[in-house]
Structure formats: C-alpha cells, structure tokens
Amino acid sequence: MNAPERFLAACASKPVDRTPVWMMRQAGRYLPEYRAVREKVDFLTLCKTPELAAQVSLQPIDRFGMDACIVFCDILIPVEAMGVPVTFGDGGPQLERRVRTRADVDALRVPDPLVATPFVMETLRLCKRALLDRAALVGFTGAPFTLASYIIEGGGSKNFAATKALMYSQPATFHALLDKLAATVAEYAAAQVAAGAQAVQVFDTWAGELEPCAFDEFAQPYQARVIERIRACGVPAILYVNGCAGVLESMARTRADVLSIDWRLALGDARARVGSGVTLQGNVDPTVLLSNPVRTAEAAFATMEAAGPIGHILNLGHGILPQTPLECAAAFVDAPKANA
Ligand code: CP3
C-alpha cells in the first residue's frame, strides 16, 4: 500500500499493511528547517504565502516520512476572514475585537472561502503536486465552539470564564455565533476538499472543558454539521477534542469517521465504549517524546497494541511540543514501520 491508501483504509476501518502514523502540529518549531523559515517571515505571513506554507507542510514528510501531511495554516485564519483581526505574538494568538453581544455577532461576516482565504486552497494544491503519493493530504478547520472561545476571550484562556458566562447567560446569542461559525467553517472545509484535501480534521480542542450536557448543546451539534459537510464531499472527517473522556459517546454520534483521542483515556477503553466501525487516532502523550527514542518507541508500540491493527491511526494526544528532540520524533514515526 502507498501512504494515502494506507491512511484512507485506516480511516475506513479497513485492513492495512501497517498502522499509519502522523503527528498533530508536525510542521512546527521543533524542526530546525521550520525555524529557519520563521526567521525570515512572521507566522501569519507564512500562513498566507502558499509557496512557504507548502514548503513547511512538506518538511516533516521529507525528514520523517509520515503517512499524512497536514496543510500548514491556523484555525484562526477563517476567524480573521469573518472580520476579527488576529495577531500572533510569543504569548499565542490575540484577537483585536472581543465579541460579546448580539450586535457583535450580527456584525460578523460569513466569508466565501475562495474569496477570503484563496491562499489556503493554493497551499493545498501545491502540497498535492509535490507529495504525489508520499502521504495523504489532510486539511483542517477549527470547530465552532473552540473558535467561539477565541473570539469571545480575545485569545487563549485558562478557565474560559467569558465564554461560559455568555453561553449560560445568553444562550441565544451564543447559538447565533456558533451558527455563523459553523456556516463559515463547513464551506471552508468543503473548499479544502475541492483543492485536494483527502481528509479533513476538525479541531474542537477546548470543547473538553464543557460539562457533558453543555457539550451536547453547544459543541456536538455544530461539530456534526461541519462533519456532515465534509463527508458529503466524499472524504473522511476526523474529530479531535482535548480531554474527550467525558464526551466520547457524544463525539461518536457526530458520525465522524475518525475520533482523535487525547492521552488521558486508554485506547482500549475508548474502543470498548464506541464499538467497532469508527477509527481511533492517537494517543501518545506528547511529553513522552521529551524523554528518549527508546521510551518513545515503547509508548508507540504500547499504543498500537492497545488499539489493535484495524481502525487505528498512530498519533499524539495533542500537538508535538517545540522542545521535542528530533530523534524522538523519528522514533515515533518509525515505530509502526518496525512493527510491520
Ligand atoms: O498540525 C500542523 O502541523 C498544521 C499546523 C497547525 C498550526 N496550528 C500551526 C501553528 C494546526 C493544525 C494548528 C491548529 C490550532 N491552532 C489549534 C488546534 C489544535 C491544537 O493544537 O490545539 C489551536 C488551538 C490553534 C491556535 C493557536 N495557534 C495557538 C494557541 C497558537 C500558539 C501556541 C503555540 O504553539 O505557540 C498558535 C500558533 C501556531 N499555530 C504555531 C504553529 C506552528 C506556532 C507559531 C510560530 O511559528 O511561532
């Protein structure tokens, strides 16, 4: 099997010659060749320059040979296109306007992805052309709840106080915001498929901060809308929630083809809860890769053992950390190849 065949077979819970592997945030600061590009351009310019964005998307594939290549961009790019300017400093993303009222929500645009974010589609086309069959090309989008949290907080957050205060005190306004975000990112995801994405991952990173009934009301239905749009394009949808243990069954009801699991939940337990027919992705703790290659390979093997050979994509439980040694990243990607 070539890498796209292997990756797509795993997404469909079909037999594979070996477990496919990639890493969330695999294009990033742990790579010296990424840091070299970032010395010359700032992060947003990198996202918006297709030649450079494609170059850094391919860097981890060229070095390690993962089975999937995720397009280099950021989940906040469509938010900017909705009318909320974003900047990236050392402390993470900062949004210029905070959306807190119904009037703020009504002022947001639902952009045409081809007009507002053509550079993302061009990056995908360039990646596809350069990859041939070396790796499956994966597009991505943030999910409505996680994007709403950035829009409301104006950046990252520890306890999501402003987000949850709005959610519990003005649920209609909150739903109106989620509705606009879902319309935006569903079309953004569909445009990525038209530009060559062979699968799309939906990042609802912070939805695991919700109590389960709030997840069912404010996160899951909007995830499901985006996932339905992706699947209607004929490609698999992958759903990631950090801290998913309390909401796993609800995630499965989105009909995502793949559930991407963080490290707090054992894959054997996840499988027992969701049954067969849905693929599991994950779930090594990214801090394991701060140890050494032997310990890293052991963790990868244990994860493959817990998941079984069918319906598993080896990945981390969240993004790879910038301080990860290259030899540990290599040991992680090589583990399924040694196992074959
Ligand atoms: O996976 C990949 O290799 C593709 C690229 C990718 C980035 N961001 C690049 C990036 C993806 C898929 C994302 C998604 C993203 N962005 C998420 C969801 C996934 C997750 O990790 O939880 C979130 C919450 C964001 C928002 C965001 N962007 C934050 C919180 C930060 C700052 C944190 C940090 O690591 O510095 C970013 C910046 C960012 N996005 C960087 C990269 C490589 C670092 C920017 C730099 O080069 O200085």
Cα(75) to ligand 1 centroid in Å equals: 7
Q: Please give the Cα distance from 169 to 114 (Å, whole number).
A: 36
**Which element (helix H / strand E) includes 37?**
helix 32-40
Q: In what order do the strands lie in the sheet with 312-316?
A: 68-70, 136-142, 199-203, 237-240, 258-261, 279-284, 312-316
Strand partners, 139: 200
- The alpha carbons of the chain give a radius of gyration, in whole angstroms, of 19
Alpha helices in 65-197 (DSSP H): 77-81, 102-106, 113-116, 118-131, 144-153, 161-169, 171-194
Please report the pLDDT score of residue 136 as a whole number. 98
Does any ligand 1 atom lie closer than 6 A to the CB of residue 119?
A: no
Positions annotated as catalytic residues are 25, 29, 38, 74, 150
Task: State the amino acid at position 271 in one-letter form.
Answer: R
Residue nearest to atom 46 of ligand 1 (CA): 43
Query: What pLDDT digit, counting tens, does each position of 200-218 carry?
Result: 999 999 999 999 999 999 9
Please report the pLDDT score of residue 90 as a whole number. 85
Query: pLDDT-based confidence at 251, cuts 50/70/90?
Result: very high
Helices 293-307, 326-339: crossing angle, 10 deg rounding: 40
Q: Which residue has the tokens 């991407």?
A: 260
pLDDT of residue 318 exceeding 80, the answer is yes
What mean pLDDT do residues 157-185 have? 97
The pTM of the whole model exceeds 0.95: yes
Does any ligand 1 atom lie closer than 6 A to the CB of residue 57?
A: no
Does any ligand 1 atom lie closer than 6 A to the CB of residue 88?
A: yes
Please report the pLDDT score of residue 97 as a whole number. 79
Query: What pLDDT digit, counting tens, does each position of 270-317 carry?
Result: 999 999 999 999 999 999 999 999 999 999 999 999 999 999 999 999
Q: What own/partner pairs with CB < 8 Å and gap ≥ 24 does 258-262 have? A: 258/11, 258/199, 258/313, 260/24, 260/201, 260/315, 261/317, 262/208, 262/317, 262/318
User: In terms of Cα–Cα distance, which of 250, 248, 249, 243 is closest to 218?
Assistant: 250
Query: What pLDDT digit, counting tens, does each position of 95-148 carry?
Result: 987 899 999 999 999 999 999 999 999 999 999 999 999 999 999 999 999 999
Query: pLDDT-based confidence at 91, cuts 50/70/90?
Result: confident
Does any ligand 1 atom lie closer than 6 A to the CB of residue 77?
A: no
**Portion of the chain with pLDDT greater than 70, in percent:** 100
Cα(25) to ligand 1 centroid in Å equals: 7
What mean pLDDT do residues 31-35 have? 98
Residue 136 backbone phi and psi in degrees, to 5: -70, 140
Please report the pLDDT score of residue 96 as a whole number. 87
